[in-house]
């Protein structure tokens, strides 16, 4: 399970940090309240603030970091059952974690849907408009095309229900970089069997790790990348992770030159 704390090392601001968070930076749009940017009624009235955020977060601007490549290595070693992420930045996919191994609980920019006729679009089709500051319009009905990000009040993607079969099978739950405040994602931490070790790599104690810790819980507090690095070192996987990070950087550099 992962939240915004694994993406901030890549340079992506979190949402709520005073003075630097994404909500703060969007104040110039005179939002009635910060979360209005993810409110469908407000979106229908004024989609511009959301697409300003989309331009900031659209996949390709930021690079994955060691936390993402650690999960990629878990998959490579057939140790990853699934990654549940709150993030909408697409860094998990960019790190090479296959979409079928991901549950992007709060949606994704990889696909999009017309808000009028429900036509489906590949997220890359929207990139030119989003990067130019234009609101993407449907080629069929000229309605606004919205990336498949989950707004407040919308149902989570159907594949979120994979947790019903995934969590009973897990023999280790790693929780990284999340406040465990947003439901229903936060409750997943309690979906693992009571005998299963839960490892929290985080700046702070959160959720059940703060108020209802289990006997097998393990906590590594501090910088998330440092925590992952310590785990990778203990596993003897340092060279393998560093090789994935280097290959990812090389690929990104080659794409930039194109």
Reading the chain (258 residues) residue by residue, the pLDDT tens digits are 999 999 999 988 766 666 556 666 666 667 888 788 889 999 999 999 899 888 888 887 889 999 999 999 999 999 999 999 999 999 999 999 999 999 999 999 999 999 999 999 999 999 999 999 999 999 999 999 999 999 987 888 889 999 999 999 999 999 999 999 988 999 999 999 999 999 999 999 999 999 889 999 999 999 999 999 999 999 999 999 999 999 988 887 777 665
Of the listed 24, 68, 106, 216, which one is catalytic? 106
In whole angstroms, give the CA distance from residue 227 to residue 27. Answer: 33
Ramachandran bin of 98, using left for φ above 0, alpha for ψ from -120 to 50, beta for the remaining angles: beta
Known catalytic membership, residue 106: yes
Q: How many helices and strands (H and E) does the chain possess?
A: 10, 8
Distance separating the N- and C-terminal Cα atoms of the chain:
34
């Amino acid at each position: 399970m992962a939240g915004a704390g694994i993406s901030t090392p890549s340079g992506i601001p979190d949402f709520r940090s005073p003075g630097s968070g994404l909500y703060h930076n969007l104040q110039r749009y005179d939002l009635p309240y910060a979360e209005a940017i993810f409110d469908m009624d407000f979106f229908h009235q004024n989609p511009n603030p959301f697409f300003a955020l989309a331009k900031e977060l659209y996949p390709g601007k930021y690079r994955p970091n060691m936390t993402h490549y650690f999960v990629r290595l878990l998959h490579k070693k057939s140790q990853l059952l699934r990654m549940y992420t709150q993030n909408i930045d697409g860094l998990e996919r960019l790190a090479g974690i296959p979409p079928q191994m991901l549950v992007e609980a709060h949606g994704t920019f990889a696909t999009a849907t017309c808000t009028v006729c429900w036509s489906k679009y590949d997220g890359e089709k929207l990139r030119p408009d989003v990067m130019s500051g234009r609101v993407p319009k449907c080629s069929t009905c000229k309605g606004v095309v919205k990336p498949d990000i989950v707004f407040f009040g919308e149902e989570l993607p159907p594949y979120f229900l994979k947790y019903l079969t995934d969590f009973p099978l897990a023999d280790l739950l790693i929780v990284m970089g999340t406040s465990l405040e947003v439901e229903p994602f936060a409750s997943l931490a309690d979906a693992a069997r009571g005998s299963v070790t839960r490892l929290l790599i985080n700046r702070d104690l959160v959720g059940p790790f703060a108020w209802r810790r289990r006997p097998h819980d393990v906590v590594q507090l501090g910088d998330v990348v440092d925590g992952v690095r310590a785990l990778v070192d203990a596993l003897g996987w340092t060279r393998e992770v560093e090789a994935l990070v280097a290959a990812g950087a090389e690929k990104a550099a080659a794409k930039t030159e194109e």
